[in-house]
Every structure is written in structure tokens, then in C-alpha cells.
Structure 1
Amino acid sequence: MFTARFSGMINFKYIYRNRLFIIGLHIIAWTCFLLLPFFIYRVRILHPWFFARELVDNLFLIGVFYLNIYVLIPRFFTLKRIVYYFGSVLLVIMFITIQQATLDHYFMRYMVAHPEEIKLPPNITTDSTGKVTFTPARPFMGYRALSIATRGRHLYTLTRGQAGAPAGRIRHHGPHLPLANDSAAVALAIPAMPMGPPPFWQRLLFPEVLRKSVLAALLMLLMSGFIKIAQEWFKSEQQREALKVEKLHAELKFLKSQINPHFLFNCLNTIYSLAHKHSAQTEHAIVKLSTIMRYMIYESNEEMVQLQHELQYLRDYIDIQKLRLPAGIQVDYTESGNAGGLWIEPMLLIPFVENAFKHGISYTDHSFISIVVTIEGHTVRLVVKNSLFPQRVAEQGGIGLQNVMKRLELLYTNKHEITVTEKEHQFIADLKIVLKND
């Protein structure tokens, strides 16, 4: 017994083919990115230049993203030029660091020179002495308010408890020393700040600036690199699928070219046999052959045909073959179910019937052919049984069956099941196919 079950690889489908969809996705992503300053800072400086600085910094980072994905990776990310790529990445990181430090330096200078333009959030108040009080949304380490005052080039933090309570500790921070967390942000909002910003080179080497700029640049480079690799992978998969489809069409065309002359040869032999016997059925056979040839010429070259037409072609073939057989050979054809609206690859069922007439008929021994077609929903089942003669076992399953099995493997991957068995002097081919409908 020989059983064949075919399965194949999953076909990949790509959803990122619409150009407008890609552009819209980029716009949404970068809009969210540009709005980050409104969400990541616990205390913000309510001044247009603050948001302008953040906008410019982020626009430069977006430029790094596209520079890496469209210039650096395509030109330098190869084994022979990998050194140039990493050198370019290092230059980009240095450029972003200098750019952000420069912008931050001039922003600080402007804030110190124009403190009267700064708007404070509602939870930050100031008085005429230059002292700033910040009231957090929740008590901070048991205290409800934090006060900041400056004297000359020195910065002090005064911590108070509840109203009327004695003053807490006074902490001296010294000149130019930044405060941590919220205090640092509040310090920038002091209306009178005689300390002044640090020199540019100190700002450039300031750990906060270095950490922010380097990490931001690396993040953009890694994101763009990952996306570029994913794009190249999808592109290679598309090319592989295109080659696979092209190969499939070429192979199917070759297989069909084998079917037509093989089938025509059998039909002509039948008509020759009838003509040799001077049978009255010769004219009827020629009419049937013309119907069959019309189907083969005009419909078999289509990718899909209606199942009704394929079954009519099957019946015509059986009728023309029965004309040459003796009356003692039993040929039964049964069809049940509704074939309307179903489509099938042309010339897909005939090889099983053709194989039965070729190898299952004997003019000396008892022989029979039984063909049953059952349609249930979208599934069509073809069961062909014929006599099995020991001397012809080696001939069973010739070019015709090999051809159709290959076509089934290519066209109905994971949508068909075929079982071929030999038992009790019978050769049985059982095929199930899930078809498409209108």
C-alpha cells in the first residue's frame, strides 16, 4: 500500500505595502516622539524657548534616524566597509552631543538673562527676595513644601514642614552645584539667578548632557538599524516568493503541456479503434472529441475553471472511452452534490480516470472501473477504483499520476489529501480537495 499526503510551507503575506499607510505610520510615531517633553518632565519651564529647544533636539534625532536607515546602512553596512560604518556612527554621536550641549548652553544663558519671561507652574511660587517654594502633589519625605533661595553665587535649600512648624535643616550646595530631581528643575525657574550658566566646555562634559545625548543618538541608531534589517528581510522574502511563483507557473505550464498530447493520443487511439471496426459510434466519438478539444483549448489554459465544466469534461472523456470497450467491462460513474459556484484547477481530475482506463482494463480477464464524485460544501472527493493485474503493477502510477500529484503539491498546499492503495486486486485512488467558491 502506498499513501501520499502532501503539505507545504506557509505562504507569507505582507501588510506594509501601502505607501500612504507607511507615511501615516511615520507621522503618528514622530508626533508622539515630539510630544515627549510634555510627559517625561515632572516640572517643566513654561517658556516657548524650552519647547523650541526640545523640538530642535528631537528633529536632529529624527534626522539621525533617517540618515542611518537610508544612507549609512545601505552604503557602509557591509563586511568590507563596516569600519567606515562604525566610524560614521561615532561621528554622528559626537555631532549630536555637541549640538545638544550648544543648544542647552545658549538656552541657559537666555534664561539667566531674562528671568522675568519665565512662567512658573501653579505649584511653584516666588517672592521679592528670590526665594522659590515648590509644593509637590504629595508630601515629600514627610514635608509638604520645598523652598529654594540664593545668596550671591551660592544656592541653599530650605525644607519646611507644616505651616507654623520650626524651620528644617538648611543645606548649602555651593556655587554651580545642581540640585537633584525636582530641585534642579525649580532652580532653573528662579526669577533672580546671579550664579550664571557654566562655561560651554563644562556644559559639554556635563554628565547629564552626555548621558542624554549619547543615549538618544544610540537609541535612534538602534531603532533605525532594526527597522532596516526588518525591511531587508521582508524584501528578501518578497523576492523569494516572487521567484517561487515564477517557478511554479513555469512548472505548471510544462506539466500542462505534457497532459494535452498524452490525452489526445489516447482519444485518437479510441477513434481509430472505432473506425477500424466501422462502428456507428465513430461520428459520436468525433463530436465528443471536438467538445473535449474545445475545453482543452479555451479553458484548460485558465488558472481556474468552474467545477461543473471540469466534471462535464470528465463525463465526455468517460463516454468516449466506453465506446471502445467490450460490453462485458463494467464502467460506473456516480456524481452527487452541488458543484455550482466552485472553482478548480483545470485538467486536475482527469489523470486519475485516465490511469484507470489505461491500466485497469483487460480484454481477457474480468475488469471494472468505478468512479465516484462527491461534493460536500467546498470539498470535492474523487474515488477511482479499477481492476489490478499483477503483470501491470509496475506500470501503475505512471507519468499521469506523478504529474497530478506534483500539481496538487504546488497548487493545493495544505488543502488536499490523496491516498493511493492496492488491495484485493483493486487499485484505489482517493482524492479530497478543498476548493474556492465565488
Structure 2
Amino acid sequence: MNPVKSRAYITILLHLLVWMLFAFILLFYQPLSWNIPLPYQFWIKQSGVLIMLVAVFYINSNILVPRLLMKNGNFGFIVVILAILCVVGPLINMLDESLHLPELMDKAFNASGVFRPHRRKDRLDIFLIMMTLMIVGISTSVTLIQKWQADKQLREALEKEKIGSELSFLKAQINPHFFFNTLNNIYALTHVDVENSRRALHKLSRMMRYLLYDTQAGITPLSKEVSFIVDYLELMKLRLNDTTKVSFEGPLLSQDIQIAPMLFLPYIENAFKHGVSAVAPSVIAIELSLQDKVLEMKVTNTIFNENAEIVDSYGGIGLSNTKRRLDLLYPGKHTFSARKTEDSNEFIVHLTLTLDDPELYSR
């Protein structure tokens, strides 16, 4: 069943149950407690009271609260409610007089030998006033709660739409950022090694297929993301000389899990950008591990003096966008650090993700 229709049916059922309870109180509980035969005019009056309470409830819920209370018309709302209370009593008294109910009730009590205190005709029915106030309070509370829930659902829907739009924009920035660098690498490789450049193009086409078809849902299996990283590393190794050592240690997967795509690549790409030297030895080490749904990434690369500024200004389009994605997709479920070691002159990026029901939004 449609959730909207289901909620509507539940709301209607709750309203019916509540009014059945009030009908029982007015038509059965109070009259039966007197234990005397009552004239039919009494039941007409009680039915009129019930209809009046129903009218007060829905007028207040659908008109007074939305048009006055919710629009900061507090004074006007109070004035109207007081006016309703002032009208209720005389209306019921008029109904009593038209039905000749006071005389009929006196005869019924006298015939049964039950003492009934004399009631002045102009005296207000306190029980009825209290019932009306209770109905006003219930209808006001129900309407305000429903409005609060509707506003909350609207805020959540707008937040999801906003996150989806931001993620679509961030992914659109990250992917071209990666491909521009990769195509430049392949272009440089074509001048020195045609066969390896063909292999590189094949790997790039496989990576493009992954991005075009496997990441459109907003989530991807971790195994495919690891394969993508392996292809990227193999592609980067084709243009490196023997002075750079690249190592990768992937997670042992007993079962595949879903993650957001393209989260790790910008950090790995940054290691190649700043951790490779044409003459000096350098090391790039990538470690991915998974334990109890906690995914951990560690990227270590050598720092050279000419690239020392990256310690204080660690950023770039791909990196800043990836950190923004982490904030959106894994709020409160990730940790990130980037630091330089003093003894070994290395730069270390450390990222952990808790993969319990990540809030991923597809575009």
C-alpha cells in the first residue's frame, strides 16, 4: 500500500476512535451513571453537544490554528477561542429551552425518587466549558505536531536534494580532474613507448567504463573500487623510473560491501603529484584494510623540499571536494588526518570510514 494512503487511513481511524470515546462519555457513561430512565430529548441534546465539539475541533484545527496561531496571531487566536467559549454556553441553554429539557429532567428524577439540585436557567454548564477547552487544546496540539512533522519531512527532503546536487557537482569535478592528469601521462608515454601506451589506454578505457557504468548509483562494491585503484597504480608505474617504489596492500574481503566511489583516488593521486622525484629515491605506499566494517586507508609518500608547502596547504580541487563528500556521506562516521613525519620526511594521509548504513545519495 502507498505509504501516503496508509498514513491517511491511520489518521482517519484514530479520529474515529477518539470521537467514539467522546460519544461514549456523552451518550452512555454520564447518563447511565444516573441509573434512571431519561427522555429522548436528553439524547438529542447530548448528540448536539457532540456535534458542536466536533465542529469546534475541526474549525480550530483547519482554520484558527493555521490562519492565526501559526502566523503569529496569538492575540487574535485567544480572542476567538474566548468568543467560542462565550457562545457555547448560551447555545446549549437555547437547545435546552427549545427541547423543554429542564422540566423533563426534573420529572424523570422526581419519578425515580432521586434528588436533583435545582439548576438556574442562566447558569453556565462548567462541564461543557471544560470539555470545549479540552477539545481546543487537543486540536491545537495535534495540528501543531502535524505541522512540525510536515516541516521536518520537508527539511529532510530538501537536505537530501541539496546533498544529491552537491554530490553530483563534486563528482563532476573529481572525474575530469583525474582524467586530465591521466591523459597527460599517457600522452607523455606515447613519445617513448608505444606498446606500453596501448596497454595504458586499455587500462584507462576499463577505468572509464567503471566510472561511467558502475558508479552511477552513488555506491559501488569495495572490490571494484580496489580493482580501479590497482589499474590506476599500474598505469602510473608505466611512467615512473626505478627511483620510485610503489606498493599497494589491499583488504582481505570475506564479503563485499558498498562504499561511495572515488573517495580514495584523490589522496593517491596527490601522493604521485608531490611524492615523485626524477633523481631522488622516493616511496609511495598505499594500504587499505577492513575490520568490523571499519575501512582504513593509509597513504604514505616521500616529501621533497620543493614540495614542502603541501604540508601547510594540503588541498586542490579533487582533495577539497573529496573531504566535502566525506562530510556529506559519512557525517560523524569518518576520521581524517594529514601530517608530515619529522624523522623520515614523509607525508601520511590517514582515513577511516565506518560503513554501517552510510547515507549515500545517488544522482
* TM-score computed with the length of structure 2 as normaliser: 0.84
Q: Does 1:260 align with 2:252?
A: no
The alignment status of 1:430 with 2:345, answered yes or no, reads no
Structure 1 CA distance for aligned equivalents of residues 5 and 334 of structure 2:
30
Structure 1 distance, partners of 2:260, 2:90, is 66
Cα distance change of structure 1 residues 426 and 383 upon mapping to structure 2, 3 Å threshold: same
In the alignment, is the contact (CA less than 8 A) between 2:36 and 2:108 conserved in 1?
A: no
**One-letter amino acid of the counterpart of residue 75, structure 1:** R
- Residue aligned with 1:368, SS: strand
* Residue 205 to residue 423, structure 1, CA distance change in 2 (3 Å): same
2:142 corresponds in structure 1 to: 227
Deviations, residues 271-292 of structure 1 (Å, cap 9, x unaligned): 1222111253111111000001
Q: CA deviation at 1:398?
A: 2.4
Tell me if the contact between 1:341 and 1:437 (Cα under 8 Å) persists in the aligned partners: no
Q: Which residue of 2 aligns with 1:162?
A: none
Could you tell me whether the CA contact under 8 Å between 1:16 and 1:22 is conserved in 2? no
**Of 382, 387, 391, the match for 2:306:** 391
Does residue 61 of the first structure (1) align with residue 50 of the second (2)? no
More deviation in 291-300 or 337-346? 337-346
Is contact 2:286-2:300 (8 Å) kept?
yes
Structure 1: state its 5+ residue gaps.
1-13, 119-125, 127-131, 133-185, 189-194
Relative contact order: is structure 1 or structure 2 higher (C-alpha 8 Å, sep ≥ 6)? 1
Structure with the bigger percentage of helix: 2
Instruction: Work out whether 1:72 is the aligned partner of 2:61.
Output: no
Q: SS of 2:277's equivalent?
A: coil
Partner amino acid, structure 1, of 2:12: I
* Corresponding position of 1:26: 15
1:203 deviates by 2.6
What pairs with 1:262-341 in structure 2 (closer than 5 Å)? Answer: 262-338=177-253, 340-341=255-256
Over 3 Å counting, the alpha-carbon distance change for 1:419 and 1:81 in structure 2 is closer
Give 1:362's aligned amino acid: S
Question: 1:148: which partner in 2?
Answer: none
The whole-number CA distance in structure 2 between the counterparts of 1:374 and 1:326 is 28
Name the CA distance, whole Å, in 2 between partners of 1:254 and 1:115: 80
Pairwise CA RMSD: 3.0
Whether 1:409 aligns to 2:324 is: no
Q: Distance in 1 between matches of 2:33 and 2:72?
A: 49
**Aligned residues, how many?**
346
After TM superposition, the structure 1 stretch with the greater mean CA deviation from structure 2, 391-400 or 50-59, is 50-59
Distance 1:41 1:261 in 2: 79
Q: Secondary structure at the match of 1:340?
A: coil
| 1:136-151 mapped onto 2 (5 Å cutoff) | none
User: Shift of the alpha carbon at 1:330?
Assistant: 0.9
Residue 293 of structure 2 corresponds to residue 375 of structure 1: no
Q: 1:221 to 1:16 in 2, by over 3 A?
A: farther
Instruction: Give the residue type in structure 1 aligned to 2:60.
Output: N
Cα displacement (A) at 1:249: 1.5
Does the 8 Å contact 2:243/2:279 carry over to 1? no
Aligned-pair CA distance for 1:64: 0.7
Q: CA deviation at 1:39?
A: 5.6
The higher radius of gyration belongs to 1
Q: Give 1:44's aligned residue.
A: 34
Match for residue 122 of structure 2 among 200, 204, 229: 204
Q: Does 1:248 align with 2:163?
A: yes
Distance 1:341 1:56, change over 3 A: farther
In the other structure, the counterpart of 2:151 is 236
- State the alpha-carbon separation in 2 of the partners of residues 280 and 334 from structure 1: 27
Partners of 1:102 and 1:338 in 2: CA distance: 81
Contact 2:338 2:347 in 1 (8 A): yes
